[in-house]
Structure 1
Amino acid sequence: MSEPTNRLPSMPETSRDKQACVLAVTSGKGGVGKTFVSANVAAALARLGHRVLVLDADLGLANLDVVLNLQSRRTLHDVFLGHCALEDAIHVAPGGFSVVLAGSGLVEYSRLTPEVRERLQAVVASLLPRYDYVLLDTGAGISDVVLYAISLADQVLVVATPEPTSLTDAYATIKVLATQQRRRELNLVLNQVARPGDGKAIAQQLQQVLARFVSTPAGDPVKLAHLGDIPSDPSVRQAVQKRQLLLETFPGCAAAHAVKAVAGRLEKVPARAA
């Protein structure tokens, strides 16, 4: 048996313009449905004819496998250690998209080391020529691991709920991304919205606060693109409890239609952020 190697697959020679749009799906706090949004938006983009992969970038507390009811003997952890090739850790998920799962409870990924930085960057680079969209399902918050994963993305999608704590943490996340990563444009989805129109009003209020108090180091204003709302819908809880995609289990429910609308708007978002 050959010895494991830490080398990752080399990236094919391909023009950057022909490679995937990398979208980081993140949130200021946990429990807002970030992974649910990542998985179901991926399924919706796949239904639109795109080649899509979701990489579980929550390196220490991964749960994409739970949401999709997938079990894999090969994870991102194995790729990092050189125990398998990246190709061996790519799996087809329900919904017609691909996934790279991560391990859970791995304390070595609780902080950003040079090794984690190098290997995560190499994995993302290797995926670019193969897909139209690569979604990075990051951890919640603003740890150095989360921020580094987001830094690898062309676009950022912030998921929040109408609750004050979620909105406060979303604002803090956006502020950090604007000041540290010079992000001038970010995308927002409001999940678990009770009434039609509530999400739009919240997004407008958040934009007004950002206009007053947040700018990039160069003084540029921060623009928040509201991609839509996902309503409170009992079908979501049922799908999550069944560990199934909402778009597969309840494709006609209100939340599923909202997710598909978000995916449609994502198609119109420029592949590279300003």
Structure 2
Amino acid sequence: MNDILNPSLPESTPAKVPLKPLGKVLAVTSGKGGVGKTFVSANLAAALAKRGQKVLVLDADLGLANLDVVLNLYPKITLHDVFTGKAKLEEAIVRAPGGFSVLLAGSGMVEYSRLTPNVRDDFLRIISGLLPHYDIVLLDTGAGISDVVLFAVSLASEVLVVATPEPTSLTDAYATIKVLVGEQKRRLIRMVINQTARMGDGRAITTQLQQVLDRFVVAKPGENVRLVHMGDIPADPSVRMAVMKRQLLMQSLPGCPAALAISQLAAKLQDTLITKRS
């Protein structure tokens, strides 16, 4: 455990060096807030840990962090303390329920809501130091397309966009994907549709989004962006029960429909992202 919680960090990383997506990093993001992105990140981490993976979730929503609320954790040391030099990285890494590690951000980090060279350096230095010690690092990003969110996503080799069937969520998901293709030259985006009413709804929604992207968004001449439907998470009253109790669904009600769907998502991600990279 000590080697996992005590990674050695590079002294500095120049802010102007062009960034390349880092292996083993999956950004979980969304166009709109309130679609269950943090819920997915936390429970997906628990499902991957159950499958024997060493997982860390980094709360990359520096302004409105709430991973600690979902996990019922009360951290004394946060990412803010690491950024400001008040604490070492290993002191901020917490073991979460579900068998994975978390690096929590402090809410209301106004000074980190803008992408300054210092924020870039700190973010990249920390993630680079974590990578050797985990099979996968999940970045629970903020919603939308702010410069901080886009920078966090740029560090990931893979992107998982969480959306719901609501028109506003899908419109914002489309806008986010369009920006990721235009600014980061993404060729492949993975989708999970949360709170679906019927089996197959998510695949149909992903297909509809793909048709719109094929028509209006081109990765480069002659090449379209490809959406990969990773699964649906059905609307399930068990989710609200777990959230209100601040418990992981994968622990409190592992046999409910939503938990089983997250387990299937974890299996797909392990097969397509982790196993093939190892």
TM-score, normalised to structure 2, is: 0.90
Match of 1:243 in 2: 246
Which residue matches 1:39? Answer: 42
**Counterpart selection for 1:104 from 101, 107, 113:** 107
1:23 match: 26
Picking from 118, 122, 126, the partner of 1:119 is 122
Code of the aligned partner of 2:188: E
Normalised to the residue count of structure 1, the TM-score between the two structures is 0.92
Q: For 1:1-274, what aligned pairs fall within 5 Å after superposition?
A: 9-11=8-10, 21-217=24-220, 219-270=222-273
How much does 1:218 deviate? 5.3
Structure 2 SS opposite 1:216:
strand
List per-residue Cα deviations over 1:31-75 (Å, max 9, x = no partner).
Answer: 000000000000000011000000000011100000000011110
Cα RMSD (Å): 1.7
* Structure 1 unmatched runs, 5+: 1-7, 13-18
Give deviations 1:144-199, integer Å, cap 9, x for gaps.
00000000001000000000000000000001000100000110000000111111
How far residue 219 of structure 1 moved from its aligned partner, in angstroms, is 4.8
Match of 2:219, SS state, is coil
How much does 1:9 deviate?
A: 4.1
CA distance in 1, matches of 2:162, 2:144: 11
Aligned length: 260
Distance 1:210 1:34 in 2: 22
Alpha-carbon shift at residue 106 of structure 1 (Å): 1.7
SS in 1 for 2:271: coil
Deviations, residues 52-99 of structure 1 (Å, cap 9, x unaligned): 000000011100000000011110000001111111100100000000
Letter of the 1:158 counterpart: V
Segments of 4+ moved more than 4 angstroms: none
Percent identity (aligned): 66
Residue aligning to 2:14:
none
Q: Secondary structure at the match of 1:60?
A: coil
Partner SS, residue 86 of structure 2: coil
2:17 corresponds in structure 1 to: none
Check the 8 A contact 2:23/2:157 in 1, yes or no: no
Contact 1:128 1:134 in 2 (8 A): yes
1:211 positional shift:
1.2
Answer whether contact 2:9 2:126 (CA < 8 A) is retained: no
Name the CA distance, whole Å, in 2 between partners of 1:193 and 1:94.
27
What secondary structure sits across from 2:224 in the alignment?
coil
Structure 2, gaps ≥5 residues long: 1-6, 12-21
Q: Which moved more, 1:262-271 or 1:177-186?
A: 262-271
- Distance in 1, matches of 2:273 and 2:62, equals 27
Give the conservation status (yes or no) of the 8 Å contact 1:9–1:85: no
